[in-house]
Amino acid sequence: MDPRTPPGFTDELLKAAAPTLQAISDSLGERTRNGKLDDDKKDAHGRFNTTHETLKNLSVVANKAGPEGVKLLGQTLAAATPDKSELNQFDDKLKALQKEKTPGLDKLAGSLVTELEASGKSKAAKELRKEHVSLAELPPPPPPQKPRWEEDMKLADAHNAHSTNTRGDFNKAAKGDYNWMEGDVSMEINDKGRIEMRHDPIHEKGDNLTLTEWLNKGKELGVGLKLDVKDEAVFGQGFLNEVRAAGVPEHQLMFNYGFQKAADHGVETRAMFPGATIAINPPSPDKVPKGSDPISEMVKMVETGGVTKPVTFVFEYGKHPTNPADIARLQDLGPISVWRGATLTGMSEEDATRHLKKDLGYTGMIDLKETAMNDPGAAIKDTVDKGMNYAVDFAQEPGKYLKKLI
Which of 333, 334, 330 has its CA nearest to residue 322? 330
What are 139-153's pLDDT values in tens digits?
998 888 899 999 999
**What fold does the segment set 155-376 form as a domain?**
TIM Barrel (3.20.20)
The full set of domain ranges for the chain reads: 9-137, 155-376, 377-406
DSSP-based three-state secondary structure for 96: helix
- Whole-structure pTM over 0.75, yes or no? yes
Residues facing 184 on adjacent strands:
228
DSSP-based three-state secondary structure for 313: strand
Instruction: Compute how many other C-beta atoms are within 10 angstroms of the C-beta atom of residue 153.
Output: 15
pLDDT of 405 reads 37
What are 15-49's pLDDT values in tens digits?
999 999 999 999 999 999 987 887 778 776 677 88
Q: Residues of 320-343 as b/e, b for ≥16 C-beta within 10 angstroms? A: bbeeeebbebbbebbbbbbbbeeb
Q: For residue 349, is pLDDT > 90? A: no
Q: For residue 158, is pLDDT > 60? A: yes
Q: For residue 222, is pLDDT > 80? A: yes
When pLDDT is averaged across residues 327-353 and rounded to a whole number, the result is: 86
Distance, in Å, from the CA atom of 372 to the CA atom of 380, rounded to the nearest integer, reads 8
